[in-house]
Amino acid sequence: MFYEYEGSIHCHSRYSDGSGSLEEIINKATLAKLDFVILTDHDTLAPLFDGYEGWHDNLLLLVGQEISPKSGCHYLAFNLEKEIQGKERTDYQNLIDEVNELGGFGFIAHPYGAKKPPLLVRKGHLWTDWQVERYCGIEIWSYMVDWVNNVNFFTFIYYQVFPERAIKGPPSEALQKWDEIAQNRHIVGIGSTDAHALSFPFFRFIKFLPYEYLYCTIRTHVLLNKPLSKSSLHEDKREIYAALKAGNCFIAHDIIADSTGFLFSGNIGGVNDLVMGQETTFNQMAKLSVFVPYHAEIRLLRNGQIIQNIDAKKLHISINESGVYRVEVYLEGRPWIFSNPIFLRNS
């Protein structure tokens, strides 16, 4: 039995380039019925030092940092108690090592970039150094990046009014890179909003993709072996971060439909219970199972290639090959759920 908690990752406030106060962000996330939010303001942990990290009624607010070199190679760092300044840095491996040495862990943010305002004709914020090691994973789907990359100067207002029509799913390059790296090492995929909720020029009362909207879109659901205590920040923070680091989580575009209850699991020899994110040696027949809360298109992938594609609520399949297995789910043709892999390695 798993305890499922859903949260929004990669959020900006007035402490960097977002429009919202912490009180507003907490209120909007609570109204969206999130269990947790991870704040990642650029190059600062000030909200942590100002005492905002913790439980706010039923919402757990955690404070990370988006380390933001001017080059555009950004890195989401979690579980830090010391700020890491990265604006002038290009030594990305040293930056990652520094996060790890301070007891943190991190994810490469928007690895394939986003169009730059105001003309929205070329991309920035691309990750360029894929020789780095020791990072936990990559941000495979960002609502803000997905939206911006499918908008141009002339369609901006239309897609502001109908934002869902611009959402296409994780970029194929990100999924391919995720699958490629997974062949050689454990790697976690996360989804995010990259929420800023900026005001329109001259119309400050209108917010560009406001918090209350984004918090209902792409969420990362974590699976825990026990419920959060809601009384010990240290313990609950450790549990959330351990699940993210292990990949015991999935990404869902919950504005389409509530994905609560989705599960990708398996066993080997009827003994070892496996859940997404786990890695084990494959030496005999394995069984994999998928459960989806609504009838949908379930795609099971091995090493990035689709090996099973059915319209159903459940999938049970016997596997006789090692590989990296993950699941994608599409609801009425729209990208909905992306699981983290189960890694079945050769001995």
In tens, the pLDDT along 155-201 reads: 888 988 899 999 999 999 999 999 999 999 999 999 999 999 876 55
Pair 144, 206 in one domain: yes
- Within a domain: 191: yes
How many residues can be counted in the chain?
Answer: 347
- Within a domain: 342: no
Pair 198, 288 in one domain: no
- Within a domain: 336: no
Pair 224, 273 in one domain: no
At 121 the pLDDT is 73
CA distance 215 to 217: 6
At 270 the pLDDT is 66
Pair 148, 193 in one domain: yes
Mean pLDDT of 85-98: 95
- Within a domain: 337: no
- Within a domain: 271: yes
- Of 253, 272, 287, the domain-final residue: 253
Distance (Å) of CA 319 to CA 263, 283, 285, 323: 18, 11, 6, 10
At 261 the pLDDT is 97
CATH number at residue 25: 3.20.20.140
CA angle 323, 327, 331 (to 5 degrees): 160
Pair 293, 217 in one domain: no
Chain-wide mean pLDDT for the chain? 94
230 or 272: which carries more pLDDT confidence?
A: 230
135 or 115: which carries more pLDDT confidence?
A: 135
Residue range of the domain that includes 313: 263-331
Share above pLDDT 90 across residues of the chain, in percent, rounded to a whole number: 85
Task: Please tell me the least confidently modeled range out of 16-30, 47-61, 229-243, 270-284.
Answer: 270-284
Tell me which residue of 147, 202, 187, 154 sits closest to 169, measured CA to CA.
147
Mean pLDDT of 15-34: 96
- Within a domain: 207: yes
Q: Residues with Cβ < 8 Å from 136, sequence gap 6 or more?
A: 105, 106, 107, 187, 188, 244, 245
- Of 253, 279, 306, the domain-final residue: 253
Pair 248, 270 in one domain: no
- Of 201, 230, 253, the domain-final residue: 253
At 271 the pLDDT is 63
At 279 the pLDDT is 94
Pair 187, 281 in one domain: no
- Within a domain: 99: yes
Pair 58, 94 in one domain: yes
At 142 the pLDDT is 97
At 115 the pLDDT is 84
Instruction: Say if residue 109's pLDDT is above 80.
Output: yes
Instruction: Say if residue 205's pLDDT is above 60.
Output: no
CATH number at residue 288: 2.60.40
The continuous run of DSSP H or E covering 311 comes out as strand 305-319
Task: Please tell me the least confidently modeled range out of 175-179, 206-210, 244-248, 293-297.
Answer: 206-210
pLDDT, tens digit, for every residue of 130-156? 999 999 999 999 999 999 999 988 888
Mean pLDDT of 47-66: 98
Total tally of structural domains belonging to the chain: 2
Pair 23, 172 in one domain: yes
Pair 312, 224 in one domain: no
Task: Please tell me the least confidently modeled range out of 205-214, 227-236, 298-307, 332-341.
Answer: 205-214
Pair 227, 309 in one domain: no
- Within a domain: 23: yes
Pair 72, 145 in one domain: yes
220 close to 7: Cβ distance less than 8 angstroms = yes
37 close to 25: Cβ distance less than 8 angstroms = yes
